[in-house]
Amino acid sequence: MTESDRPSPQALLRQAAQEGRGRLKVFLGAAPGVGKTWEMLTEGRERRESGIDVVVGVVETHGRRETEALVHGHEIVPRHEVAHKGHTLAEMDIDALLERRPQLALVDELAHTNAPGSRHPKRYQDVEELLDAGIDVYSTINIQHVESLNDVVASFTRVRVRETVPDSFLEQAEIEVVDIPPDELIERLKDGKVYIPQEATRALNHFFSKTNLTALRELALRRAAQAVDAQMLEHVRANALAGSFAVGERIIVAVSEHAHAAGLVRAGKRLADALRAPWTAVHIETQRDQAFSDADRRQLADTLALASRLGAATSSIPAADVVDGLTRFAGDARATQIVLGKSTRSWWFELRHGSVVDRLVRTLGDVAIHVMPSDPEEGKAAVRRQRVRTPWGAPLDYVLSSLMVAAMTVLGRLLLEVIDLSNISLLYLVPVMFAAATFGLRAGLFAGLASSLAYNFFFLPPTGTLTVSNPENVISILVLLGVAIVTSQFAARVKMQADLAGSSARQNAALASFSRQLTASATHAELTQAICAEVARLLNVRTVLLLPSPAGPVLQAAFPPEDRLEQIEQAAAQWAMDNEQPAGRGSTTLTASDWLFHPLRTTRRVLGVLGLAREDAGDPLRSDQVPLLMSLLDQASIALDRMVLEEENMRAQALGERDRLRSALLSSVSHDLRTPLTTIMSAAQAMKRHPSIELAETIETEAQRLNRFVANLLDMARVEAGALPMKPEATDMFDAVASAVHDTRASLADHAVKVEIPPDIPLVRLDPVLLHHCLINLLDNAGRYADPGTPILIRCRRIPGALLLAVADEGPGIPPGQERRVFETFTRLEGSDRVRHGTGLGLAIVKAFTEAMGLSVEAANREEGQGACFTIRIPESLIMANFESEDVE
């Protein structure tokens, strides 16, 4: 079975990944009002009438009576309400849909942004969860909401759409275009079937102009055609179907090391633009590539770089010959057209090797082949260069081949009395195969000729001469020579294929190692340093990596680390970054620089430039290293882009967490500030009429409560800002506990406090202020959650390796599994039916302060009786018994 007869493993894996998932169908429209929702509801009704369990997850009718009529009859899952900025927003209830588990869910407006507080920020992420649960989904989207087309649409509509759906999500969907002519859509708009009259008039003068609608319609049809073509190719590869399936055009441009290859690339670009087709520039690596000069390799690299700048995918494929490589690549890519050049060759060359064009025409019968003639003078020069760079091999190759022939001759003379003369000729196949496999075809042919002469001279009568007396022996010599030639050709071909496979394996191993190193990098600094170190190791060069900044390229990493750049190198790096082309030594721009700079770019932007230089100040790259460098640059660009996206995602998550904390803080402040303030104001007003000590004490108690609340807010802000001043000093545990109990006497008024601290407890080296805050928050928490009238126990005891300070209450305790969660910010666990007050900051502050002092805190339920116990563990290293006496003083 050939490779083209085998199903694609990648396609089979993608098919396997879809097993158990729901199917997604998207109704795609050019603009609002084309009837996407109508079409979705109509098809959903047909599926329901055929026995399929269909429910409506969310449908936006926008007040259109015809659409509302289609909704009737469908089961509608009620939406859940989300409060946001004083308004109540209704969003699709993803949990209700998952619990209902219909066969098909109708979800309108795929690009919709969910209200803050929803499980997912985008509706398409809700749909992804439904698909993962095995539920089929029908949805709708307009072409301007497709991520890759967002800039294109904005360029002519002058409207930037903020809600988009990634192309990768739409790749898994079946797409149906809902299309009506622009004139008909404009009439619908004028009749008020899309917007209300006032909005319709404004839309007609802006977004809904006929020019815009026509362009949007073309984009929608083209995007659907691309999706159909991609899905068709996926099915073809998964089932190993033969043929090019030329529903959509796919173009290949075959490039070589010749200068006219740049013209082929430009011709391929023009053809691809005319057909609006994807195209690929491919170079077939054969054995002749090993004889390329530096100028040839540089020309090939420039041609592939030109193709990449013009929008082509580029590839370099190892193969035994050009025809075989192009045939396999065209079959894998399902190409419909190939652009290649017709080199000027002599009749003797074509007689020996054949014509690449003719062989391709015979081999690829269903593929159109465009042949571009080359300059005859250039072709003659190429032939001359080929002759110059195709040597006959090193003299040592022929010496060793001759020695092998001599050894077989000696062995044959020794065996002459044992075996027949006809069998001795077989011994000479050994040096032929050895020479061809080791040194190449020419050495193999030389060994075959030398073997036939040696066999004639030493074994065929009359021996000692080249005369053959028996005509039958002439046939033996010719057969030996023929077998030697054929064997040497086969051996040389096997060697060539082995060399190509070895070269490809070495490059793949280098790329795999490079990819592993990049994947293992956890931070941006580690990644940039890994890129420099690995490129330097693989190419044996010095490297620097510069990233863009408002002030120009900034050196981010270097290998060796001490490398620095002069002004000319900075200029070359800036030019490479601005123009997305190589600059510096070995390029065509700013060649006075000792460094060669290559841009690291993705489809989005240029991420930086990688500089290379050699210790001997020679050219940074050898010609045979260019393909490997291109692959390394691609992987480095992808890794940098991934790291940038991860950092942006982390910043977005941090902003989201900050917003969540702000919302929780405002919610807490609205209650916990208002309650004591209300009490203080009421008591103050009452004192105006009837002054009393009791009211004054109430004001003092609530003011202290308010003061602790504000102190907690300030402490939490210090924790988040990392601004905790540490002043450790010798601290007596009994004094620390007594001070904390005194300051919380008001909140502990209903509880007796039991203190169990042995007199031999040593001093500890801690920050007394932070420890005081920790104890106050633990005691305040115990006072709020302990049952009324029950005691609160404070116990300190020594264990091997640590000192334990525990605060225990007799309240409802901690729900199982929530022991760690109680220390999270704004977490308040309800342990009983009584209403608990507080911000949920106290225990979070305890955890932050203890960790800042090198301590740890744990929460658990009491072993004896009911209630919770919070234990601060002070390690042995902070116990003053371990310090010198002068430290205590």
What per-residue confidence (pLDDT) applies to 754? 92
Task: Answer whether residue 437 shows pLDDT above 80.
Answer: no
The predicted-structure confidence for 380-405, as pLDDT tens digits, reads as follows 555 444 444 444 557 787 888 888 88
The mean pLDDT of 129-140, rounded to a whole number, is 92
What's the pLDDT score for residue 841? 67
3-class SS at 711?
helix
Residue 481 has pLDDT above 70, yes or no: no
More confident residue, 878 or 187: 878
CATH T-level topology, domain 520-650: Beta-Lactamase (3.30.450)
The count of C-alpha atoms lying within 13 angstroms of the C-alpha of 697, restricted to the half-sphere facing its C-beta, is: 7
Confidence of residue 589 (pLDDT cuts 50, 70, 90): confident
Give residue-wise pLDDT tens across range 112-125: 888 887 888 889 98
Of residues 281 and 749, the one with the higher pLDDT is: 281
Classified by CATH at the fold level, domain 251-387 comes out as Rossmann fold (3.40.50)
CA–CA distances in Å: residue 588 to residues 266, 660, 686: 20, 54, 89
For residues 173-193, give the mean pLDDT: 78
Say which residues have a Cβ less than 8 Å from residue 272's Cβ, sequence separation at least 6. 251, 278, 279, 311, 312
Please say if the pLDDT value at position 706 is more than 80: no
Q: Where are the beta strands (DSSP E) in 143-210?
A: 174-178
Query: If you average pLDDT over residues 3-14, what whole number do you get?
Result: 54
**What are the residue boundaries of the structural domains of the chain, listed by start?**
9-239, 251-387, 395-497, 520-650, 724-885
Instruction: Write down the CATH number for the domain with range 724-885.
Output: 3.30.565.10
Tell me the β-bridge partners of 546.
555, 609
Task: Report the chain's mean pLDDT, rounded to a whole number.
Answer: 77
Please give the radius of gyration of the chain, using alpha carbons only, rounded to the nearest integer.
40
3-class DSSP state of 372:
strand
Strand, helix or coil at 137?
strand
pLDDT higher than threshold 60 for residue 271 = yes
In this predicted model, what pLDDT tens digit does every residue of 709-761 receive, in sequence order?
A: 676 666 666 655 555 667 889 999 999 999 999 888 877 888 899 999 998 88
Per-range mean pLDDT, top range of 306-310, 577-581, 768-772, 804-808:
804-808
SS3 content of the chain, % helix, strand, coil (to 5): 55, 15, 30
Q: At what angle do helices 210-239 and 182-190 cross, to 10 degrees?
A: 130
Average pLDDT, integer, range 770-796: 88
Question: What stretch of H or E contains 188?
Answer: helix 182-190
pLDDT at residue 388 in the model: 40
pLDDT of residue 346 exceeding 50, the answer is: yes
State yes or no: cis peptide before 32, omega within 30 of 0. no
pLDDT over 70 for what percent of the chain?
75
Task: Out of 238-242, 490-494, 624-628, 695-699, give the one with best mean pLDDT.
Answer: 695-699
CA-wise closest residue to 252 among 362, 365, 371, 340:
340
Query: Can you say whether the dihedral through the CA atoms of 180, 182, 184, 186 is positive or negative?
Result: positive
pLDDT of residue 674: 65
Structure-model confidence comparison of residues 201 and 76, the more confident one:
76
Distance in angstroms (rounded) separating the CA atoms of residues 126 and 477: 80
Asked if the domains 9-239 and 520-650 are classified in one and the same CATH topology, the answer is: no
Q: What angle do CA 429, 431, 434 make, to 5 degrees?
A: 105
Q: Examine the pLDDT at 217 and tell me if it is beyond 90.
A: no
Model confidence, pTM: 0.43
Partner residues linked to 28 by β-bridges: 141, 177
pLDDT at residue number 195: 55
Average pLDDT over residues 7-12: 56
State residue 786 phi and psi, 5-degree precision: -70, 150
Please give the pLDDT value at position 327: 83
Give the pLDDT confidence score for residue 504 in this predicted structure.
64
Q: What local confidence, expressed as pLDDT, does residue 492 receive? A: 63
Residue 780, pLDDT score: 85
Any idea which of 198-207, 330-339, 470-479, 763-772 has the lowest mean pLDDT?
Answer: 198-207
Indicate if the pLDDT at residue 609 is higher than 80.
Answer: yes
Nearest to 648 by CA among 610, 611, 604, 609: 604
Span 9-239 CATH architecture: 3-Layer(aba) Sandwich (3.40)
pLDDT at 884: 43
